[in-house]
Structure 1
Amino acid sequence: MNPSLRISLLGELSVTRNGTPVSLPASRKARAVLGYLVATARPVRRERLCELFWDLPDDPRGSLRWALSRLRAVVDDAATPRIIADRERVAFAAETATVDLLGIRARLLDDPPLIPPPELRIMASQLELPFLDGLDHAGDADFDNWLLSEREDVHLLRLNVLRRLALHPEIDRVEAVKWARHWKEQTPLQEEAARSLIHALAHTGREQEARHCEADFLAAAKDAGLQVSGPLMPDVTEALDDGTLHARPDETIQRRMLRKQQIGFCRASDGVRIAHASIGEGPPLVKAANWLNHLELDCNSPIWGPTFDACATGRRFIRYDERGNGLSDWDVPDITFDAFVKDLETVVDALGLERFPLLGISQGCAVSIAYAARHPERVSGLILVAGYPTGWRIGASPEEQARREAVLTLTRHGWGTANPAYRHIFSQTFMPDAKPEDLAWFDEFQRLTVSPENAVRFQEAFGTIDVRDSLSKVKAPTIVFHAREDQRISIEQGRELAIGIEHAEFVPLESKNHILLGYEPAWHDCVAQTKGFLRKHGI
């Protein structure tokens, strides 16, 4: 095989040669012919191609010859002709190129006992894309029926991959919850998928959610007239002498948080499903979403675990995954700053919160400010950490804008790969003083949390943020924290927030980290001063 030519059938049809995109014919029919020939990977009669794509009055044979000439210019080279045709048949020499779908299909049909998790994760991301997206109705009804059939096959391949991920012995229980949830969403009445999700939830300490999931599945199976082979809920607790249950003695703070966390879903006005979570008891504290969130993965992390534990001490701590990442819908039409604010509005309204303090971190600060300006009667206080009033397309120097544009290019081409170097750009600037193992965790966390496409869309949306006009409209007591040597957002931007919000307190922190870590003195200072701020204002 010559891997220099790569063809993607998943998503929009694309061709690259030696890593460089090749322009395709403008004709949808010509592109559809290429997709059909590559996907079928066998000779096709010329008459059949003419029937699929052209009506008789349009000189089908002449149109086919024209399309093949355009396609040869795309895929052939001097040493390797790939469009192979004679007077009767036309074929694409699939063995001379790398084709995403054909490679995945061959790998899965070999049915190896274990495919490494990184390879499976890439497959899952690729198979989420529609087969030959945008080529519907490029041919006749038979072509559309073939397209639907192939998309059904892609769907079955994706289920195969999700099953392997959910049950993989090398994937930890927390990540297994994600894949089991995706698997069950696609096959809501399949017992094995439901059992995998229930077991994954129970083994991460979330017995209550697992029992709800079990009850929902049993009810749905009964309504559908299906028999369940046996109990779905595993025994994951230990009994005391008095018959009560307790967690295992080696349970960490983060594991306890996961076990007690309650996850729910609500829908924004445009139909996007938003996932939210609550933990702890007491007056509410709401955290606006930031880059990046995942309600199941970040709670059990070395990065966010200590912060979330501090937030949930004596309070009902509420957070959510904004659209496009985490447990919220990924396939969304709108990833913009206004949509981020509406997601926050959706969550607090769904939970019936009347008045509450808001915690904003990074771009979550701008979301919190916009919400507080629009709903002053709802916000009792603002806690802003590492925030900024304007995005990089507005407030950054030309040099910084150029760097950000370069990172966008790297993200487009490398985010979803097994190589963490592309994501490490973010990890290193977010937390330059983090431990190596924490940076490695964050590298992988980012890949699991968002698709490459949405990672680019988020960065572009962050670049256009501008809440300067909203600063003077904030009436709630506000405290602004910012690391003096923040490598991501300069302390001057933090000061600009504090200057623009009337009576805001500004607290510089001795740190280089954009995300404060639970083992650094600046984190302890931030937590202590936040508690004092809330007490001072009776919040």
Structure 2
Amino acid sequence: MAELEISLMGELRVFSEGEEMPLPASRKARALLGFLVATGRPHRRERLCELFWDLPDDPKAALRWSLSKLRKVVDAPDRVCIVSDRERVSFAQNRARVDIHEIQAALRDREGHCGFEELEEMARSLDGVMLDGLDGAGGEGFSAWLTAEREDAQAAWLTVVRLLATHPEATPVSVRKWKRIWQEADPEAAEAHEEEAARPLPPQVPRLPVSRAHAQRPGGVRGARGLRTQRIGFCEGPDRTKIAYATVGEGPPLLKAANWLTHLEFDWAAPIWGRCFAEIARARTLIRYDERGCGLSDWDVDDLSFDAFVEDLELVADKLGLERFPLLGISQGAAVSVEYAVRHPERVSGLILVGGYAAGWRHLASPEKQARREAVRNLTEVGWGTDNPAYRHIFSQTFMPEASAEDLDWFDNFQRQTTSARNAARFQDAFGDIDVRDRLGQVRAPTIVLHSRHDQRIPVEMGRDMARGIPGAEFVPLESRNHVLVDYEPAWQVCLQTVADFLSEHGI
């Protein structure tokens, strides 16, 4: 196979068999290639159109034209790099060597074992602006992604500088050089290293590497980067629906059942998910997946039902070979978790249910409330995908009534990125039909149920009823009005600590 090398550091460059390939004159086409290569995973065509082309243009035609130009650069008779179908486009990572990917893999897999000369070469490669010259080639979403990727590259450069400044093979001259650079770039970490190195240790007490201690502090150089180390994959159900899943962190697994309004890529920036996921991933391997019909999973699906939701959870657990694990269910994910735990008691070591319910609104709501639900459902179908956020704001206000105005605006926009208007309405229908009340008594796993006292979307009594129905379940009320907790309210920290104590108490 003809060898392909791609450099993302500095200006985008592509080499085939050592010969530099001419790139399209279009900055958008070059930015598209850089995005596909850097992310290395499939992207929906609609999402790519949103990232790079304005609505007055013909985004789909522009995307097709750009892909045709890029195929001439990276594809060869024995090498297909750009893979696409009716819904998605991706760049086959195993078809090319990518400079930033090779550096990040080396730092991740053998950080303490890189040679001095190898590290110096990494420092030279990283001493530049990633995808230089492509600022403004796309919309706000592309600019935000590019900023985050450049921060990651800067974090990798700082790691390399630290390793050079402390490398056992470095000469005194080299040590002085790299310590000076480290001090200028990250004085807090450099000074912490000097203080730690000078501090005497009790006998037989190992020293914690300063880099790791620094990374654990909020605002540490590697803190933001850690949120983007997740590994995304896809599995396919019997009906050919592709389900996207992600793993992040190390340690015993914790599987989160999917719930509506998630997106594996965008969740990290969410005030309702990002810090929570990061906290869990400190000590565990957190596994999440997007529900069918939303996020990175297939949107165009025939079956959007409770049984399909449970089968998708089974699919992900089987794909990853999980034998025994605790299960986290939030909102309607709680009912999905209950059903899975009853079907597979030998695999579920514990249930954590947050803001959940056992029966949907069609079973329990009064005629007046059902009429209001139907009205909201119809408004969703006609208004969800418009530029007017008023329709989506209906959900924002009930999900997070105590969130800041800025977070509500973010959530309004986030909703449109997670699913289509048609699916948003179909989800509401599916949630109304849920009923696992007769399954609660069959749960055998240790269970904790947490619920906001003044939840505006799912009343706290529905959480209490779940706890009452599950043998031995513990119920913990949270002082909040939010259905989904935001990370700056006190109840968020109470929830995390309570869950940690539950897992520890049961040895899970």
State the TM-score, normalizing by the size of structure 2: 0.62
1:361 aligns with 2:330: yes
Aligned to 2:260: 291
Kept after mapping to 1: 8 A contact 2:227/2:278 = no
CA distance in 1, matches of 2:451, 2:245: 27
Count the aligned residue pairs: 359
CA distance in 1, matches of 2:67, 2:431: 31
Aligned to 1:87: none
CA gap 1:206/1:316 in 2 versus in 1, 3 angstroms: farther
CA distance in 1, matches of 2:499, 2:410: 27
CA distance in 1, matches of 2:270, 2:223: 7
Aligned to 1:441: 410
Aligned to 2:481: 512
Match among 61, 67, 75 for residue 156 of structure 1: 61
Deviations 1:113-160 (A, max 9, x none): 9xxxxxxxxx948999xxxxxxxxxxxxxxxxxxxxxxxx99535546
CA distance in 1, matches of 2:461, 2:67: 46
CA distance in 2, matches of 1:436, 1:405: 27
CA distance in 1, matches of 2:90, 2:283: 37
Kept after mapping to 2: 8 A contact 1:206/1:258 = no
CA distance in 2, matches of 1:279, 1:186: 23
Shift of 1:322: 1.3
What residue ranges of structure 2 are gaps of 5+ in the alignment?
Answer: 1-25, 29-44, 51-57, 69-81, 109-129, 132-148, 168-181, 183-210
**Residue type at the aligned position of 2:349:** S
CA distance in 1, matches of 2:385, 2:392: 9
**Aligned residue runs from structure 1 range 315-464, under 5 A:** 315-464=284-433
Aligned to 2:238: 269
CA gap 1:324/1:378 in 2 versus in 1, 3 angstroms: same
| Identity over aligned pairs, percent | 56
Deviations 1:16-73 (A, max 9, x none): xxxxxxxxxxxxxxxxxxxxxxxxxxxxxxxxxxxxxxxxxxxxxxxxxxxxxxxxxx
CA gap 1:161/1:456 in 2 versus in 1, 3 angstroms: farther
Shift of 1:254: 6.9
CA gap 1:158/1:464 in 2 versus in 1, 3 angstroms: farther
Shift of 1:183: 9.7
Aligned to 1:242: 163
Deviates more, 1:181-190 or 1:490-499: 181-190
Deviations 1:288-343 (A, max 9, x none): 01121111100222221121122212111111111111111111111111000011
CA distance in 2, matches of 1:534, 1:428: 32
**Residue type at the aligned position of 1:242:** L
Deviates more, 1:286-295 or 1:181-190: 181-190
Aligned to 1:502: 471
CA gap 1:354/1:332 in 2 versus in 1, 3 angstroms: same
CA gap 1:488/1:187 in 2 versus in 1, 3 angstroms: closer
CA gap 1:327/1:252 in 2 versus in 1, 3 angstroms: farther
CA distance in 2, matches of 1:189, 1:518: 35
> Which secondary structure state, in structure 2, belongs to the residue aligned with residue 383 of structure 1?
strand
State the TM-score, normalizing by the size of structure 1: 0.59
CA gap 1:188/1:474 in 2 versus in 1, 3 angstroms: closer
**Residue type at the aligned position of 2:484:** I
What residue ranges of structure 1 are gaps of 5+ in the alignment?
Answer: 1-110, 114-122, 129-152, 164-179, 212-230
**Aligned residue runs from structure 1 range 166-315, under 5 A:** 186=88, 237-238=156-157, 239-240=160-161, 242-243=163-164, 255-315=224-284
CA gap 1:350/1:446 in 2 versus in 1, 3 angstroms: same
CA distance in 2, matches of 1:429, 1:262: 32
Shift of 1:189: 7.1
CA distance in 2, matches of 1:255, 1:485: 32
> Which secondary structure state, in structure 1, belongs to the residue aligned with residue 322 of structure 2?
coil
Shift of 1:537: 0.9
CA distance in 2, matches of 1:315, 1:125: 31
Aligned to 2:117: none
**Residue type at the aligned position of 1:379:** V
CA gap 1:467/1:160 in 2 versus in 1, 3 angstroms: farther
Kept after mapping to 2: 8 A contact 1:268/1:346 = yes
